[in-house]
Structure 1
């Protein structure tokens, strides 16, 4: 067992290869469960794309695993403007996570425009902006823009929540 552990030391990319393989297999299995009407006019059909994507993921997983087992390693991130010796800035990370969690909790009840505004404003605040009024106006414009962009551009209705009938 110790010999196996020492052989695999420094080859954490094998974990990524395994994850790629699992995702590829899941995509293919999910593609198998698609029900296609017999009267489908398209000769390719909707099952083709999951098989292509899943197959490419499996090929990438195998190629990555072979490369890692042959001694290949990913290059360490050099970070152009990042000092890697500094620890994580938790005063920024925790409020950002809080803004995302608040959005997840509120989006169904209060709607996208309100929760999205809180998300965009909270993210700007967490990243250091202290122009509260300007940030709030920009957050409202972004939330409304994405709401109508999804609805008019993609035909996807985001939850309106408390603003149902107003938007």
Structure 2
């Protein structure tokens, strides 16, 4: 018996892994494709009041966005398969040979999920402050004297602008009666 060699670019596990690494942008294509299908499905199954004012109905923009996502996914896939690669920005100092910082990713994910769970019972101002402070902490800021205060002010300002000025209802939580 002979063992497979790495001569064939796609014939072995090593060759497939190398091919996928070289064409990693196809993951973005898959994401755009899935998002486009989701937007189109949602737009086409939307319950719409038949009486509309004007030629453009509420389905027009979501359908255009969904079609645009599908077209961009297809064009990007063709470009990647033809050998195109995304270029790093001139000021970008990311070393692609370094492994991903999974600790930061997991901290940000936890902070986001925690604020999503807390937004209803604690209200947006509290959940938003925890989100802002937690994101700053996960990204490396260790100023415990300043960061919670900035997070609280940002969250409160965001709540007031959206809930009170723009009329977008946000859960106030215990602060509902105060503001």
TM range (shorter): 0.7 to 0.9
> How big is the shift at 1:81?
4.0
Q: Which residue of 2 aligns with 1:37?
A: 49
- The corresponding residue for 2:62 is 50
Between 6-15 and 18-27, the greater mean CA deviation after superposition: 6-15
**In 1, Cα distance between equivalents of 2:40 and 2:104:** 39
- Unaligned 5+ segments in structure 1 are none
Distance 1:162 1:44, change over 3 A: same
- Residue 14 of structure 1, CA deviation: 2.2
**Structure 2 residue 15 is matched with structure 1 residue 2:** no
SS of structure 1 residue aligned to 2:151: helix
Cα–Cα, structure 1 residues 159 and 81, in superposed 2: closer, same or farther, change >3 Å? same
Q: Distance in 2 between matches of 1:69 and 1:109?
A: 48
- Aligned CA distance change for structure 1 residues 111 and 58 (closer, same or farther; 3 Å): same
CA distance in 1: counterparts of 2:37 and 2:110, whole angstroms: 34
TM-score normalised to the size of structure 1?
Answer: 0.79
Q: How many residues align?
A: 166
Q: Tell me the residue number matched to 1:108.
A: 120
Structure 2: state its 5+ residue gaps: 1-9
**Aligned with 1:128 (options 115, 123, 141):** 141
Whichever structure has more helix as a proportion of its residues is 1
CA distance in 1, matches of 2:129, 2:93: 30
Task: Choose between structure 1 and 2 for higher RCO, CA contacts under 8 A separated by at least 6 residues.
Answer: 1
- TM-score normalised according to structure 2 size: 0.74
